[in-house]
């Protein structure tokens, strides 16, 4: 169980180039937008939710959570959304989740938060891949992140290595970290039942 207040921030600010430019978070999986599946999985695990998007703001507002865009212009990647979210969050700990991971585990926070006493950033690994856009991170990294972005850096994993982020083994739940990047992957996900 988590012992500290946590804000979840859904990252839906990308350009979705592999999805032909369609806003990934709004694409339908079993009749519901992808970002709504993410909310359904994380809502019981956190204290509050916000949504980071750079277009279709009114559609995301329908979920009735605070919505904000990147402070840095030009679609600079997930770190820009993370930075903008940390600026707005009122909790020390924040869970960032990408809008295209609709099957997140119900014990995500429980397993990541165990490490909050000795790490400032924690993310899952499924035994084969790291999943750094699913990230529990402390607000105190904000100045380091600001400097990193101001220097023109964009790579999320490089930043996480710089701040000694911890990876947590979820190889028993690899299915939960499926992310949907292409029309074909969305089609396959729509054929999954009982998740």
**Domains of the chain and any CATH numbers:** 6-189 (3.90.550.10)
How buried is residue 115: exposed, middle or buried, by Cβ count under 10 Å (0-12/13-18/19+)? Answer: middle
pTM of the model: 0.91
Judge whether 87 and 71 are in contact, CB under 8 Å. Answer: yes
List all residues 6 or more positions away from 91 whose beta carbon is below 8 Å from its beta carbon. 4, 5, 6, 7, 47, 48, 139
What Rg, from alpha-carbon coordinates, does the chain have?
16
How buried is residue 125: exposed, middle or buried, by Cβ count under 10 Å (0-12/13-18/19+)? Answer: middle
As a whole number of angstroms, the distance between CA 139 and CA 85 comes to 10
**pLDDT tens per residue across all 195 residues of the chain:** 456 899 999 999 765 555 556 788 999 999 999 999 999 999 999 999 999 998 899 999 999 999 999 988 766 789 999 999 999 999 999 999 999 999 999 999 999 999 999 999 999 999 889 999 999 999 999 999 999 999 999 999 999 999 999 999 999 887 899 888 887 888 888 887 655
Distances (CA, A) of 173 to 43, 53, 120: 19, 28, 24
């Amino acid at each position: 169980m988590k012992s500290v207040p946590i804000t979840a921030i859904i990252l839906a600010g990308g350009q979705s180039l592999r999805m032909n430019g369609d806003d990934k978070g709004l694409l339908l999986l079993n009749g519901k937008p992808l970002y709504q599946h993410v909310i359904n999985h994380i809502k019981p695990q956190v204290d509050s939710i916000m949504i980071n998007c750079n277009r279709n703001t009114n559609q995301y507002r329908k979920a009735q959570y605070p919505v904000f865009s990147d402070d840095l212009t030009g679609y600079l990647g997930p770190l820009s959304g993370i930075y903008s979210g940390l600026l707005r969050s009122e909790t020390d700990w924040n869970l960032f989740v990408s809008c295209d991971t609709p099957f997140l585990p119900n014990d995500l926070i429980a397993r990541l938060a165990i490490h909050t006493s000795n790490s400032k950033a924690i993310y899952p690994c499924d035994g084969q891949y790291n999943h750094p856009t699913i990230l529990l991170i402390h607000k105190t990294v904000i100045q380091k992140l600001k400097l990193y972005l101001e220097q023109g850096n964009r790579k999320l994993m490089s930043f996480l290595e710089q701040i000694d982020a911890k990876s947590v083994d979820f190889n028993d739940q690899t299915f939960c970290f499926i992310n949907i990047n292409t029309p074909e992957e969305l089609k396959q996900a729509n054929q999954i039942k009982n998740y």
